[in-house]
Homo-oligomer: A and B are copies of this chain.
Amino acid sequence: MPTDTTSVVAAPGSRALEHPARGDIRLADVLHALADPVRMRIVRVLAAAEGELNCVDVELPVSKSTCTHHFRVLRECGVIQQNYRGTAKMNGLRRADLDALFPGLIDGVLRAAELETGRLGDA
């Protein structure tokens, strides 16, 4: 089956990072990525930002190298896009791709995470 062309295009002059094309994003990989609490937190912050954020603007209770790992996992499974703008690595949720492939899934997951935080606090 032919895959869609990726919707993630590196800006002119930026170093491009590898992203799966929309048609290569798999539900199992997305669910696996979201099953980690740190990665879920990243996704929630990016969803709330509704735009791109620098890695350092997402406060996480882990080391810088662990952060880098979690962002890479999210990029490689198609949940986020990462692009260099100068020296800054900017991150954004691939909402259009995810909503096209799995309508309602990300909204449902974000709402579930919000409700759980309301019940249990930010673990």
The main secondary structure of chain A at its interface with chain B is helix
Segment at the interface with B among A8-16, A47-55, A100-108: A100-108
Q: Contacts A28-B36, A31-B35 known; A112 to B116 CB distance under 8 Å?
A: no
Minimum C-beta distance from A102 to chain B (A): 4
Q: Contacts A112-B27, A112-B105 known; A119 to B1 CB distance under 8 Å?
A: yes
| Bound complex: CA A115 to CA B102 (Å) | 7
Are B27 and A116 in contact, with the CB atoms below 8 A? yes
Are B112 and A109 in contact, with the CB atoms below 8 A? no
A85 at the interface (CB under 8 A from B): no
Partner of A116 from the list B36, B101, B107 (CB cut-off 8 Å) is B101
A90 at the interface (CB under 8 A from B): no
Minimum C-beta distance from A113 to chain B (A): 6
| Bound complex: CA A40 to CA B108 (Å) | 17
| Bound complex: CA A116 to CA B102 (Å) | 8
Interface centre among A35, A103, A107 (most CB of B within 10 A): A35
Minimum C-beta distance from A94 to chain B (A): 15
| Bound complex: CA A112 to CA B31 (Å) | 11
| Bound complex: CA A74 to CA B27 (Å) | 18
